[in-house]
Amino acid sequence: MTAPFALARAAYADVPLYDPKRVPTPTDLSDNTNLWGLPPQAERTLRELPWQKVTRYPSLYAAELKRALAARAGVTPDMVVTGCGSDDVLDSAMRAFGDPGMTVAYSDPTFAMVPIFSLMNALTAIGVPARPDQSPDVDALIATGARMVYLCAPNNPTGTMVPRADLERLLRDFPGIVLVDEAYIEFAGTSHVDLLARHERLLLVRTLSKAYGCAGLRVGYALGQPAIVAEVEKSRGPYKVNAVAEAVALAAVAQDAVWVDAHVSLAVENRARLEQALRDMGLAPLPSSANFSCVPVPDCVAVGQAMRARGVAVRPFPALPHVGDCLRISVGPWEQVQKAVDALHAVLAERGPLQHTATMRIPGRA
Ligand SMILES: *Cc1c(COP(=O)(O)O)cnc(C)c1O
């Protein structure tokens, strides 16, 4: 980083620019986007969009999109707030509920942006180690005395779901705001949306970047009771979903449900196939409820680089708590997943059996 600017806020000395180290690679399974592409009605809407959409301002708070999202989620439109990606919704929520100096607690490991958004809002982020099965340590989260707790369900990068009982206990015993990031909820076959009726401090944050295939549009949203949603909307401000994004996202949500659901099912099928292929290689992927698999592989950074040299990008996560080095492999069309399986197989074979079976060597054998 360059030397801090003298007039910057003090907290910004520690704010890094986000760099997931993506390199253009023929087969890119590194960012969990929808590798089947854009849903058909969204694609048609984008192609046929009148230029007038671009010369005038978009709607203030994306009212039409909120109605469509509400209908899809089974809530009322005043329970929805949109944003420029769910990143923006999370950032706005932190700003809305955290006075500078307050604390955000999160279960660690999780989404790398959470401590960064905290810093950006002059909040103190406290990572609370997850339990060995990757479920959140609810007592330790409460003990931080934080204003807000962030949980990711299913969790990025582990793919594990937050157990219902843990979330219910947190909502019962923790007095602050509970942010649950549901970026991958479509792939989990379940949701915590029914809890909204009973819990006014719960915000479920979602995105069109994953199952809906619209990451480049930057559209995210959150669901909550009207009072909490209204505060996030104030913090977010007007015009945050641009006109092109709103029109295309509206088509995806209102008209492409069948396509989206079908491709979510395919992703779930291919996830099971990928997990089996990894197990056949002697690896032990974590149980995943998302559109990716997190698999412990020693020396993951070097293995990831060697896979990239073979034309396949996956995301290495070195030294994850309780897991160690692992690779996160996105699920898409099977031809692409097969390429990742083949590349990983070849790289592990090259590196020799001792290294790739180090975490699961059978006792008594060298
Ligand atoms: C991908 C992802 C998001 C999506 O962010 P957008 O800003 O909506 O693209 C949010 N949270 C998690 C955990 C993610 O992995």
Which residue is associated with the tokens 């602050």? 176
Pair (75, 179) in one structural domain? yes
For the CA of 88, the nearest atom of ligand 1: 7
Both tokens of 303, joined, read 């293995």
Question: Residue 361 — very low, low, confident or very high, per pLDDT cuts 50/70/90?
Answer: very low
Q: 217: burial class by Cβ within 10 Å (0-12, 13-18, 19+)?
A: buried
What's the one-letter identity of residue 79?
M
pLDDT at 250: 98
Question: Residue 259 — very low, low, confident or very high, per pLDDT cuts 50/70/90?
Answer: very high
Residue 364 lies in a domain: no
Which residue is associated with the tokens 């439109």? 77
Pair (22, 71) in one structural domain? no
Ligand 1 within 6 A of CB of 182: no
Instruction: Output the CA 185–ligand 1 centroid distance in Å.
Output: 11
Q: Can you tell me the mean pLDDT for 30-51? A: 97
Pair (19, 137) in one structural domain? no
Structural domain containing residue 47: 40-256
Decide if pLDDT at 360 tops 60.
no
Decide if pLDDT at 33 tops 60.
yes
Q: What is the pLDDT of residues 148-198, one digit of tens each?
A: 999 999 999 999 999 999 999 999 999 999 999 999 999 999 989 999 999
Domain count across the chain: 2
Which residue is associated with the tokens 């970047």? 209
**Mean pLDDT in the chain?**
94
For the CA of 155, the nearest atom of ligand 1: 13
Contacts of 6 (CB under 8 A, 6+ apart): none
Least confident of 16-20, 70-74, 228-232, 334-338: 16-20
Decide if pLDDT at 206 tops 90.
yes
Instruction: Output the CA 115–ligand 1 centroid distance in Å.
Output: 14
Among 223, 240, 256, the domain boundary falls at 256
| CATH code, domain carrying 302 | 3.90.1150.10
Q: What is the pLDDT of residues 125-134, one digit of tens each?
A: 999 999 999 9
How many angstroms separate the CA atoms of 119 and 102, rounded? 11
Ligand 1 within 6 A of CB of 290: no
The residue nearest atom 12 of ligand 1, judged by CA position, is 183
Pair (215, 115) in one structural domain? yes
Ligand 1 within 6 A of CB of 225: no
Instruction: Output the CA 236–ligand 1 centroid distance in Å.
Output: 17
Among 256, 289, 306, the domain boundary falls at 256
Pair (228, 263) in one structural domain? no
Ligand 1 within 6 A of CB of 209: yes
Which residue is associated with the tokens 């913090």? 235
Residue 366 lies in a domain: no
pLDDT at 1: 54
Pair (9, 45) in one structural domain? no
